[in-house]
Structure 1
Amino acid sequence: MKYFITFTAALTLAAAAPLASAADLDREGVYGVVGIGKSDIFAPAKNGQGTRKQKLKDGRFAYTLGAGYRLNNNLALEADFSSQLGGRKSSKKNAGRAKDMMTGRALSVSALGILPLGESVELYGRAGLGYLQGKYSPAAGSDARRTRSTALAPVYGVGANFHVSKNSFLRTEWTTMKTRSGNKAAQAAGGNRLHNRQINIAYGYNF
């Protein structure tokens, strides 16, 4: 998270110079977003010592596709699909051996509250609801079974848009999704719910 904040702050300073006239700030309408990022999946579980968080996946690439409608300068509605590219269970003990795998994908709908900072920079917060799917694949030779489950999960995020022209913008964002307890894929991996966190860099276009 600290790297995301540092990166966003640097981009904000770099984009502080005006890139458009005040008349160009009307950004209502349809837009699309495509991006890549780093994604982690966890399976939190409570035990006698409190909360245990098992990391099932190292930071790996993920892609995101989104489409939205900007209602005004301060509000937008957006639908997004994201998917991880591969996965593995992090464990020094299992180094050099076959490893369990966990991959995830998500489909969500969100509302974005937007705060313009000048003519080219915007900060925003995201809140919505979606489906988070986890797919658990045990290591070779394990008696465990492959398990896949899909569950509703709230989605929250913060980010920034950097408008580089009247129609194009760059975006950096951090999002999180967490299912309720009893998720089957998480249980197969030793937890009881799925938790996905993702940092993205994306390109957007206003149609």
Structure 2
Amino acid sequence: MAGDEGIAKWIAEKLQGDSRFASVNAVGAGYLDIVRKDHPPFTAAAIGIREVILPAHVAPLFDGERSPEFVVNVPSKAIWSGPAIDIIHDAPAAFGTFGELSRAARNEDVGSYRHREYQFFEQAFRQHTVVSGVTRVYDKVFRLHRHRGLGDITVALVDAYDMSAEDVRYTRDLYGKFDAAVKISSYGSITSAASDAAKMMGAETFTFGDLMGRLNKP
């Protein structure tokens, strides 16, 4: 399958009034040619997946004459699977929502754009001395493989100021089983109800710092 032409046209119309761009044109098969005033032009590809974005949704976008530097999905609440993300990053290209496409367009190299918070956590995981490798399961879920005979830990990132039981349950419903729910924000708190809800699932709740210490333990 190619991209979504209807969404590409919608994006083109939305970006027409942006003063950073000299022109934005939907050119067929879901692709957009975006000419910037201060940086080189780039190609984006639009898709319209409502649930989980899989490799089959993104791989064809890189098989033809055009190779996008950014893959944008509308609606924004869809989940990106790890294998789909790997295909995009290997291209190399970037991915995200319409808002992230707009932010990526500020970079001279659009394909190098990465979501700041997700990149921070993934980089921190990879640099931990006990972690031998990281597998991206979904956009907010990482499986950490550990040295010294320690088992894998699946970590889900939770974007909440005060992590609640509802946040933990929603994350489980959305992504499935995980071992650790980690609060993204350094502000706010983790409620006791959130910790209790995670415990009922066989998981734990952590701040980032607490998780880094936990990784050294069985």
What's the TM-score once normalised by structure 1's chain length?
A: 0.23
Greater percentage in helix: 2
- Which has the higher relative contact order, 1 or 2, with Cα contacts under 8 A spaced 6 or more apart? 1
